[in-house]
């Protein structure tokens, strides 16, 4: 028998989240990790909304400076790479953290053996990461939306500085927020692996033949719950309205500036959450397609 389920959450440097419990038995030197139930995972995902929206607003308050991203993201990825080398040394990307780097090799996948059968409800590491698609969305779509929101504040936002930020001296702040937002979105989407395991475990007889026949269409139908998607989109819309309004109130911005900034932040957050839901479904799908390997 698996021990009683517990979920550990921790908000350290990255709103990072350890989401499964260690079981004493281990395989290949890795712990067996029992995933939470679907309602528990969803409750955790809801807690990641605030940090994601707050980081997006903080980034939107700084000038977008599109030239920082005009080289296909090379400046940003080289900034992220340096951070990831340090993060890797601290164990951020080890087995079961559900943190996956953008610029470093991923943790190796699990293989089912006779000793190690991976029963339903136990996390099974796959090789998929949403990160390339996420980075491309960020550069292609989100940078422009952040720029639109920033244009609305007309240079009035002082963020946490006494002077209005501009120029190279502020690039570290911008890239730090970009890196933080990307890591949070990646982590949020990667929790889809745990969502998929919880769904698989709740209906192994329905999922197994679809995985074996690699029936992506039917798997997608079984994985998708549009009612739940709407709950997530509504929650994100609520959070963006509340947090962007609080931000503008704190800055004593004029009503016109406030309205424009809040509206454009809401557009950006809605785009991010639509993308996040689709990326998470892809993560769930790819996780399941390797689940019986």
Ligand X SMILES: *[C@@H]1O[C@H](CO)[C@@H](O)[C@H](O)[C@H]1NC(C)=O
Taking the complex as a whole, the smallest distance from the CB of residue 248 to ligand X amounts, in Å, to 19
Nearer to ligand X, 38 or 151 (CB): 38
Find the residue with minimal CB distance to ligand X: 206
Q: Count CB-CB contacts under 10 A for residue 35.
A: 26
Taking the complex as a whole, the smallest distance from the CB of residue 236 to ligand X amounts, in Å, to 8
Taking the complex as a whole, the smallest distance from the CB of residue 243 to ligand X amounts, in Å, to 13
CA proximity to 290, closest of 191, 195, 214 = 214
User: CA 171, CA 63: separation in Å to the nearest integer?
Assistant: 10
Task: Supply the DSSP string of 46-61, one letter for each residue.
Answer: HHHHHHHHHHHHHHHT
Taking the complex as a whole, the smallest distance from the CB of residue 222 to ligand X amounts, in Å, to 6
34, β-bridge pairs = 21, 122
Nearer to ligand X, 113 or 225 (CB): 225
Helix 171-190 × helix 255-289 angle, to 10°: 40
User: CA 100, CA 179: separation in Å to the nearest integer?
Assistant: 13
User: CA 196, CA 204: separation in Å to the nearest integer?
Assistant: 11
Nearer to ligand X, 28 or 203 (CB): 203
Interaction site with ligand X (CB under 6 A): 203, 206, 222, 225, 227-228, 231, 234-235, 238
Nearer to ligand X, 143 or 272 (CB): 272
Taking the complex as a whole, the smallest distance from the CB of residue 95 to ligand X amounts, in Å, to 29
Nearer to ligand X, 90 or 203 (CB): 203
Taking the complex as a whole, the smallest distance from the CB of residue 228 to ligand X amounts, in Å, to 4
3-state secondary structure of 26: strand
Sequence-distant (≥ 6) Cβ neighbours of residue 161 within 8 angstroms: none
Is the separation of the CB atoms in 109 and 80 below 8 Å? Answer: no
Taking the complex as a whole, the smallest distance from the CB of residue 40 to ligand X amounts, in Å, to 13
Nearer to ligand X, 78 or 225 (CB): 225
Nearer to ligand X, 146 or 223 (CB): 223
26, β-bridge pairs = 31
């Amino acid at each position: 028998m698996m021990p009683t389920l517990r979920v550990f959450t921790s908000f350290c440097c990255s709103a990072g989240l350890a989401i499964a419990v260690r079981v004493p038995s281990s395989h290949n030197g890795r712990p067996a990790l029992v995933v939470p139930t679907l309602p528990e995972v969803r409750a955790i995902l809801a807690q990641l909304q605030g940090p994601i929206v707050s980081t997006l607003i903080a980034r939107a308050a700084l000038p977008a400076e599109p030239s920082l991203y005009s080289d296909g993201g090379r400046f940003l990825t080289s900034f992220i790479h340096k951070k990831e080398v340090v993060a890797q040394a601290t164990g951020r990307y080890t087995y079961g953290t559900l943190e996956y780097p953008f610029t470093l090799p991923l943790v190796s996948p699990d293989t089912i053996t006779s000793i190690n059968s991976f029963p339903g409800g136990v996390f099974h590491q796959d090789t998929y990461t949403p990160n390339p698609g996420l980075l491309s969305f960020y550069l292609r779509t989100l940078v422009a939306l952040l720029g639109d929101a920033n244009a609305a504040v007309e240079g009035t936002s002082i963020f946490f500085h006494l002077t209005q930020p501009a120029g190279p001296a502020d690039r570290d702040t911008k890239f730090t927020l970009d890196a933080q937002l990307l890591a949070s979105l990646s982590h949020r989407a990667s929790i889809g692996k745990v969502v998929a395991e919880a769904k698989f475990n709740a209906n192994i007889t329905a999922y197994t033949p679809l995985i074996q026949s690699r029936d992506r269409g039917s798997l997608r139908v079984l994985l998708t719950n549009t009612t739940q998607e709407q709950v997530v989109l509504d929650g994100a819309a609520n959070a963006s309205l509340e947090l962007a309004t609080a931000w503008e109130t704190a800055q004593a911005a004029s009503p016109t500036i406030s309205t424009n900034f809040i509206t454009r932040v809401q557009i950006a957050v809605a785009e991010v959450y639509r993308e996040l839901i689709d990326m998470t479904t892809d993560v769930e799908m790819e996780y399941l397609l390797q689940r019986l390997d």
